[in-house]
Amino acid sequence: MIRPALTSDAAAICEIYNYYVENTLISFEYEQVSVETMQQRIGKTTTKYPWLVYEEQGIVIAYAYANLWKERDAYRHILETTVYASHTMTTKGVGTQLYEGLFDSIEKHQSTTRIKSLMGVIALPNDASVALHKKTGFVEAGYFKQVGYKFDQWIDVAYYQKDLQVLQA
């Protein structure tokens, strides 16, 4: 089941996300995110943009959200999207379902938000994320060599972009 995230989901979201923080190059954060910090992130994001969770038998196993891509006003029509699934999951299409739900939520608010494009920012290598973004209509829009540094190594980043039908700003 896909539903909007609540601040009460923060502990489950932290459990998913903090695995990637501590064990992978996928997240550029170095320290685990606390439940309180995640609650603040959810609360702040959901005032303007969607944050969804995927529940299986009452347990949050994945989440996705959209947020402003950059802070400058000229970027206000571009959102960055994020999706994370529990590292224990095998491919079940959950990411695709979450992204489709996220796109639907964004489209429903187009009359007020006027979002032109979605950006996926992917630390490389990450074949699963690249495949998900391509499958859901994103195209590669940029490649940045060695822009992140974690676990004593440099990390490349790719930007993937999905254009939406937008009302004139």
Structural domains in the chain plus CATH codes: 2-118 (3.40.630.30)
DSSP assignment of 10-49: HHHHHHHHHHHHHH-SSS---SPPPHHHHHHHHHHHTTTS
Mean pLDDT by 10 residues, the chain (169 residues): 96 98 97 98 95 95 96 94 90 90 90 87 96 97 98 98 75
**pTM recorded for the entire structure:** 0.93
What share of the chain in percent tops pLDDT 70? 96
